[in-house]
Amino acid sequence: MPTASDIQIVTVAYNSTAVIGDMLASVPPGVQVVIVDNASTDAQDLHALAERHGARVVTNPDNLGFGVACNLGAETGDSTFLFFLNPDAQMEEGCIEALIEADRAHPDGGAFSPQVLDGKGKPAFRRRSRLLPRSAYWSGPPPASDSAVPLLNGAAVFVRRGNFDRVGGFDPAIFLYHEDDDLSLRLAADCGPLWHVHGAVVRHAEGRSTARTPKTAAFKAYHMAQSAVYTMHKHGQPLAKPRMIAFALLQLLSPLTLLSARKRAKNIGFLRGSLAATGHKD
pLDDT for 210: 57
My answer on whether 52 and 150 are in the same domain is: yes
pLDDT for 100: 97
Reported pTM: 0.93
Q: Does 281 fall in a domain? A: no
pLDDT for 66: 95
My answer on whether 43 and 175 are in the same domain is: yes
My answer on whether 42 and 147 are in the same domain is: yes
* Residue span of the structural domain in which 258 resides: 214-276
Select the more confidently predicted residue: 35 or 257: 35
My answer on whether 58 and 168 are in the same domain is: yes
What is the pLDDT confidence band of residue 273, given thresholds at 50, 70 and 90? very high
My answer on whether 76 and 133 are in the same domain is: yes
- Least Cα distance to 202 among 124, 117, 83 occurs for 117
CATH of the domain at 94: 3.90.550.10
Q: Does 282 fall in a domain? A: no
Tell me the residue ranges of DSSP E strands in the chain. 7-13, 32-38, 56-60, 81-85, 89-91, 111-117, 147-149, 156-160, 194-204
- Of 156, 179, 204, the position where a domain reaches its end is 204
Indicate if the pLDDT at residue 227 is higher than 90: yes
pLDDT for 182: 98
Per-residue pLDDT, averaged over 37-42, amounts to 95
pLDDT for 281: 61
pLDDT for 3: 84
Per-residue pLDDT, averaged over 103-111, amounts to 97
Instruction: Please provide the average confidence, as pLDDT, over all residues in the chain.
Output: 94
My answer on whether 49 and 81 are in the same domain is: yes
Indicate if the pLDDT at residue 89 is higher than 60: yes
**Total tally of structural domains belonging to the chain:** 2
Q: Does 163 fall in a domain? A: yes
What is the pLDDT confidence band of residue 46, given thresholds at 50, 70 and 90? very high
pLDDT for 211: 60
Structure confidence by residue, pLDDT tens digits, 175-201: 999 999 999 999 999 999 999 999 999
DSSP string, 229-246: HHHHHHTT-TTHHHHHHH
Measured between alpha carbons, how far is 278 from 161 in angstroms, rounded to an integer?
Answer: 31
**CA-atom Rg of the chain in angstroms:** 18
Per-residue pLDDT, averaged over 102-117, amounts to 97
My answer on whether 153 and 23 are in the same domain is: yes
Q: Does 161 fall in a domain? A: yes
Q: Does 209 fall in a domain? A: no
My answer on whether 272 and 152 are in the same domain is: no
Structure confidence by residue, pLDDT tens digits, 116-164: 999 899 999 999 999 999 999 999 999 999 999 999 999 999 999 999 9
My answer on whether 43 and 117 are in the same domain is: yes
Indicate if the pLDDT at residue 209 is higher than 80: no
My answer on whether 34 and 171 are in the same domain is: yes
Q: Residue 56, class by beta-carbon neighbours within 10 Å (0-12 exposed, 13-18 middle, 19+ buried)?
A: middle
Contact indicator for 141, 122 with CB cutoff of 8 Å? no
What is the pLDDT confidence band of residue 207, given thresholds at 50, 70 and 90? low
What is the pLDDT confidence band of residue 254, given thresholds at 50, 70 and 90? confident
Measured between alpha carbons, how far is 221 from 80 in angstroms, rounded to an integer?
Answer: 35
My answer on whether 72 and 185 are in the same domain is: yes
My answer on whether 194 and 226 are in the same domain is: no
